[in-house]
Amino acid sequence: HSIGISQQVVLNETNCGCLRKIVSNKKNYTNLSTEKCNVDLLRCFRYDAISTEEIDQLGSSSHTDWGSLTVVWQDDKGGLQTYCHACEKWTDVAAPERKSASNTIINLFVHVGDFLSLATHGEGMAHLPIWPSPRHRVICPTKQPNKSESSQCRRSLVYFAYPPPNISLA
């Protein structure tokens, strides 16, 4: 789930302040096509708990993030996994320890995106990137008997940092 803002509104540069600034000044209006807005995005995700019969369903399938950086906060349910190509297996990213309802350790995880990974390649594309973009996925929590549905869902906040518009790796 997202926070309820359609992606078209978030990513549509005509909805940001630079258009209003240019139109209100009534000059340099032709420069609108060259002035771009930030397209970074903060999303709130909720993954509902699933029954043991549905356990093969993923909350988010295996992928890499295409931007520059992704910063992830996940609650104490866990579920975020990264893939180790050398071991050929999925590994759980440690969930923060919940000491009490008001005392939870906060961990932020930073994923390098595909764009930044490509930017850190050595000479020629045959070299491995200095900062590889990790393949990751999300596993939904399993339903527990005698617990409310809302207490069992997995929640996370994810900030996607994207490269500036019109930037080139060349």
Both tokens of 148, joined, read 């409310």
How confident is residue 8, by pLDDT bands cut at 50, 70 and 90? very low
Let me know if residue 169 belongs to a domain. no
Q: Are residue 45 and residue 33 in the same domain, yes or no?
A: no
For residue 145, CA distances in Å to 32, 78, 142 come to 56, 19, 10
Would residue 115 count as lying in a domain?
yes
Residue with tokens 């990790």: 134
Total number of domains constituting the chain? 2
Q: Rounded mean pLDDT of 139-146?
A: 85
DSSP 4-20: S--HHHHH-GGGSHHHH
Residue 48 within a domain: yes
Tell me if 71 is assigned to some domain. Answer: yes
pLDDT above 50 (res 102)? yes
Helix (H, G, I), strand (E, B) or coil at 104: strand
C-beta separation of 165 from 39 below 8 A: yes
Which of 46-50, 87-91, 135-139, 164-168 bottoms out in mean pLDDT, i.e. has the lowest?
164-168
